[in-house]
Amino acid sequence: MGSVTTQKHPNGLEYVSIETKLCQARIFMQGAQIDQFIPSGKPPLLWVSSADDYQPGNGIRGGVPICWPWFGTHENPQYPQHGFARNKIWSLESVDIKDQVVDLVFSLPQSEYEQQYWPHNTQVKVLFTLGETLTVSIVNTNKDNHPVSLTQALHSYFPIGDIHKLSASGFNGSQYIEFGEGPFQQTADAVEFTKETDRVYTHLAPQQTLHTPHGSIVVSRENSHSAVLWNPWIAKSARLSRFNNDDYLTMVCLEAANVLEDKVVLAPGESHRLTTRIGWLTA
């Protein structure tokens, strides 16, 4: 049948542990952040820095942080980077296990909202489906009497073995902004990495593939025409908190997003679901 249990990290953070015949996983109540997903008989699908000490109040440097209700730097520079949801304590609403596939729903209580940053009456939930693959969705509902706009991302970190041997494909026909410049047209299908990469893609196809020395990871999106591709390389790695200087060698982020012209605008009563699905490519 599998098991879903609530446990506590030695540093005090509570998490949900999932063990079935199909996978092992761990999701923290802080940030509704999954940091482990291991399909049975296959390598892990998520990366976490060994420098992260899982301290309360800090988003975990890896897994899938939830960037909400804005991605990146807010137009008001006093606001926190990537919103406030990733440091808040979410509630586990429901757990369902069927045929060894586990569905979990987390919600952010209104008491955890930062009203000075987000004075809107909205509801946000994160849904997980854990089987042979991992599906993560963020669902927004506008309960206010006026339109609400937001940006968001599922900030997924992937283990890629060796950045010098990584090729990311599925980008042909898109465009991107990098370091505040662009948009640039993507004329090649594949992206390789030789320096710091921080691209915000738009007009992007719904599926990309990370070709690593250990196999290929398929990353797909729904209700998203934008994504972020990120590797900090050498200089920025030295400046990042909870990140080893050589971590850039073994990770890359490919994030399902709603950013730039792909932002979410919700009419009163309207809902929107952003989904990412990841798994090892099987022959």
Confidence (pLDDT) at 1: 67
Look at residues 210, 201, 216, 211 and name the one whose alpha carbon lies nearest to residue 256: 201
Catalytic residue among 114, 146, 155, 203: 155
Quickly count helices (H) and strands (E) in the chain.
Answer: 1, 23
Residue 161 has a CB neighbour count (10 Å cut-off) of 15
> What is the spatial distance between Cα 14 and Cα 88, in angstroms, rounded to a whole number?
12
Q: Which domains does the chain have, with CATH numbers?
A: 3-280 (2.70.98.10)
DSSP 148-159: EEE-EEE--EEE
Question: From the first residue on, what is the mean pLDDT of each consecutive set of 10 residues in the chain (283 residues)?
Answer: 92 97 98 98 97 94 97 90 95 96 97 93 98 98 97 98 97 95 95 97 97 96 97 96 96 97 97 98 73
Give per-residue burial for 114-147: e unless 16+ CB within 10 Å, then b: eeeebebebebbbbbbbbebbbbbbbbbbeeeee
> What is the spatial distance between Cα 181 and Cα 185, in angstroms, rounded to a whole number?
12
**Is 155 a catalytic site residue?**
yes
From start to end of 29-151, where are the E strands?
Answer: 33-39, 66-67, 91-98, 101-107, 122-130, 134-142, 148-150
Catalytic residue among 255, 261, 270, 272: 255
Task: Look up the pTM and report it.
Answer: 0.96
CB distance 217 to 250 below 8 Å: no
